[in-house]
Amino acid sequence: MVYISQSVEVRGLRKVFRSGVVAVDNLSFNVGRGEIYGLIGPNGSGKTTTLRIIATLLKPTAGSVFVEGVDVVKQPLEARRLIGYLPEEAGAYRDLTGYDFIKLMLSIRFHGPELEARIDEAISISGLEEFIEKPIKTYSKGMKRILALSVVLAQHPRVLVLDEPTSGLDVEKSIFVRDLIKKYRSREEVAVIVSSHNMLEVETLCDRVGVLWKGRLVAEGEPGYLKKTFSASNLEEVFLKAVGSHVL
């Protein structure tokens, strides 16, 4: 596939925490409009750190990230308008109802009749109509995750940054979430960056995959290309081979 222009450009990204841990090391990749890019890698390989930098929550030690031409370090507020970010363990305010939570989060970007429309959209995306007036503390983990994702999607961001969107979800809900992402991508022509430990999911969902190891990109390409290069029958094998060759 050929993408006309890049939506997200990550250039020479490096993040060293105050503790001295190098979480991301000279990382570069692009994501085009309408493309779903998967970030995979072992625990602690720097996926969340990378996504947090893109979402303007962490500042890079070196390197740059541009989102639709906006520098996320220099113009964080502009960048946040373009990005919809689902954090790794996104929860919700326990004491609020689902409805109030959706309203609170959406009222930051929208007002008046548009706000009402977005709230309705978020509720219908979530499929949680029956529970929407109930306090979030009565929700299951999967319901909370879907609630947060619905808020992110109803914001109609230009770039979706999703940190393990299906972690902890059952099979049915995982498929539901994957379908939401795909539908949203093709409707809005947005760039999607998604991290995951589920190789099956990455294989079916992502157009391109980057394999991270100790903050470095050790392999990148379409799932089919990666399988060929590593002469593997599935992405799980690719993962083991890509990471394994570096552990030696």
Ligand X SMILES: Nc1ncnc2c1ncn2[C@@H]1O[C@H](COP(=O)(O)OP(=O)(O)OP(=O)(O)O)[C@@H](O)[C@H]1O
Binding site for another protein (CB under 8 A): 17-21, 42, 44, 52, 55-59, 77-78, 80-81, 83, 85-94, 101, 105, 108-109, 148, 151-152, 214
Q: What residue type is 105 in one-letter code?
A: M
Structure tokens at 241: 């081979």
Q: Pattern of binders to ligand X over 93-132, x per CB under 6 A?
A: ----------------------------------------
209-248 residues near ligand X, rule: CB under 6 A: none
* Per-residue CA distances from 239 to 37, 148, 200, 218, 235 (Å): 15, 29, 12, 10, 6
Nearest residue to Mg ion, by Cβ distance, number only: 48
47-66 residues near ligand X, rule: CB under 6 A: 47-49
Shortest Cβ 20–ligand X spacing (Å): 9
In the set 7, 45, 48, 50, which binds Mg ion (CB under 5 A)? 48
- Of 13-21, 66-74, 123-131, 240-248, the window that binds ligand X (rule: CB under 6 A) is 13-21
| Location of structure tokens 């993962």 | 239
Shortest Cβ 210–ligand X spacing (Å): 12
Shortest Cβ 93–ligand X spacing (Å): 23
Which string of b and e fits 130-159 if b means at least 16 CB within 10 Å? Answer: ebbeebbeebeebbbbbbbbbbbbbbebbb
Structure tokens at 196: 């995951």
Shortest Cβ 208–another protein spacing (Å): 24
- In sequence order, what are the residues at sequence separation of 6 or more whose Cβ sits closer than 8 angstroms to the Cβ of residue 160? 83, 84, 86, 152, 153, 181, 184, 185, 190, 191, 192, 193, 194
Q: What residue type is 160 in one-letter code?
A: L
56-95 residues near Mg ion, rule: CB under 5 A: 88
Tally Cβ neighbours within 10 Å of residue 208: 20
- Binding stretches for ligand X (CB under 6 A): 17, 19, 21, 23, 41, 43-49
